[in-house]
Structure 1
């Protein structure tokens, strides 16, 4: 049978899902199929299920751990990715400095430093009532409630006057404000902004407290739960965490490991990096979330430890954790499939 010439040149519809059942558990998610759907743009941030997002975060963490175990392959992956973004000059500058200062860094790490953190205290729950907390909106972490009174705060009127003068008058603000779209909004991908962030990360790497910040995340021994079980535990008892939060957390950890070269994930520190990244992402994205004490119990840490790893994570991110939807979709379509394919080629 000869092909019908009348249908030549007809544009076919783009691939899309129809009548697909949502996964009931993490086992129902095929990671390879999900990665291919992300690569061709079929799956995006707005049509991901909660188990899809957890699977993406879990696979991203596992791939980063495997990749960082081999310095040669890690260097090769970084080099290819920086070239893809036309950041070869930044790559050469960053890693030339790293190789030149490797000896001095090894000497610094051998000096006395604070011990690793204690193991996670994972309480067994039978239901949500065991938490004893409701999901309520909080303005400040509960762990700050018992902080000592700061006696250095000035009680003069000069401090109040200086704070008031620092605000811009409304009439002046209205005259100078404009509704024209910004050329490079902070929520959209921008190579120049990424270049500046990578250059700023070098200052954090050589900061005297950087080793101390990292050691806050190290555990003395692996917890009783696997990483997959730990993520399911967070999902079960922290139901207010949404899909964008898990993807947002994966992006921040990927940026710290690959772009900034500030974190080396291991089986001992990945749990606290997950906990801090999810917590920081929740506070930046959600209006209502668990109280500090309740989330600390779910994560197996005290409120003081949770606050410490949050602050340490924010310092390593240079307090820049705002990520827009376009950036997250670009991360799902490019970085996640590239990382997965590269790690699978290592086998």
Structure 2
């Protein structure tokens, strides 16, 4: 099927280029920016959900086949980079995979945590590659990339598909909205990070308590 029609006359063309979903005229190679944005979004979601679950004194709201006994040692960011490096799938697949994960969470009411995010990622990215790209590897290969057995990945794939009612189609409009959301999330994270960095610099100047700084970090 190939990647979505990113070359269409769309006002989001600059965003696609910024995310690394379109090749620039200079043809500069490198890791697409979309990988770090998707990773960051997932990491913040996991942190937020686990804080809420901890506050409610709940280990996990709902256990599924995607849950492991313990969180993998590999971070989400490194896991995403690993999948991109060895799967050879198009960068657009990571946006589509994010859409699939959201559909899964909405249909199952499962909370995204460190116990299930890795399995959801490898499953959703594999499905996105199968649906989006002209060429892709088989389940056995993706299982090796994802660090699970072929049997387990087959089971995860079927569970995921039935959970989202096999809704793999993603419209260009929906794809574009998610790309805009990623850009907005990145801008918001940068606005939060800058005051925190300023606070750390200020704290290095003085050991005294600073109420303004503390309130900014706690926000």
TM-score by length of 1: 0.43
Superposition pairs of residues 137-156 of structure 1, within 5 angstroms: none
2:68 paired residue number: 219
Change (3 A) 1:336 1:249: farther
Q: Deviations over 1:155-214 (max 9, x none)?
A: xxxxxxxxxxxxxxxxxxxxxxxxxxxxxxxxxxxxxxxxxxxxxxxxxxxxxxxx6xx5
Q: Deviations over 1:108-148 (max 9, x none)?
A: x8xxxxxxxxxxxxxxxxxxxxxxxxxxxxxxxxxxxxxxx
Distance 2:169 2:183 in 1: 19
Change (3 A) 1:295 1:41: same
Change (3 A) 1:232 1:283: same
> Are 1:222 and 1:267, in contact at CA under 8 Å, matched by a contact in 2?
yes
Deviation at 1:264, TM superposition (A): 0.7
Deviation at 1:278, TM superposition (A): 0.3
Task: Give the length in aligned residue pairs.
Answer: 168
Q: Give SS of 2:32's match.
A: helix
TM-score by length of 2: 0.65
Distance 1:312 1:237 in 2: 24
> Are 2:108 and 2:163, in contact at CA under 8 Å, matched by a contact in 1?
no
> Are 2:41 and 2:185, in contact at CA under 8 Å, matched by a contact in 1?
no
1:280 paired residue number: 127
2:179 paired residue number: 332
Equivalent position to 1:252, from 100, 106, 122: 100
Change (3 A) 1:340 1:266: farther
> Are 1:63 and 1:339, in contact at CA under 8 Å, matched by a contact in 2?
no
Distance 1:56 1:247 in 2: 10
Question: Looking at both structures, which has the greater relative contact order when contacts are Cα pairs under 8 Å and sequence separation is at least 6?
Answer: 1
Distance 2:78 2:12 in 1: 29
Deviation at 1:339, TM superposition (A): 8.8
2:139 paired residue number: 292
2:202 paired residue number: none
2:77 paired residue number: 228
Deviation at 1:262, TM superposition (A): 1.9
Deviation at 1:338, TM superposition (A): 5.4
Gaps of 5+ in 1: 1-39, 73-105, 110-210
The CA RMSD measured in Å over matched residues stands at: 3.1
> Are 2:107 and 2:163, in contact at CA under 8 Å, matched by a contact in 1?
no
Gaps of 5+ in 2: 1-10, 21-30, 193-215
Equivalent position to 2:47, from 57, 66, 73: 66
Superposition pairs of residues 1-347 of structure 1, within 5 angstroms: 41=12, 43-45=14-16, 48-49=19-20, 50-69=31-50, 71=52, 214-239=63-88, 241-257=89-105, 259-260=106-107, 262-334=109-181, 337=184, 341=188, 344=192, 347=219
> Are 1:65 and 1:266, in contact at CA under 8 Å, matched by a contact in 2?
yes
Change (3 A) 1:334 1:292: closer
Q: Which has the larger radius of gyration?
A: 1
Q: Deviations over 1:237-292 (max 9, x none)?
A: 112x10110010112223444x5462211111110010111011111111210122
Distance 2:133 2:140 in 1: 17
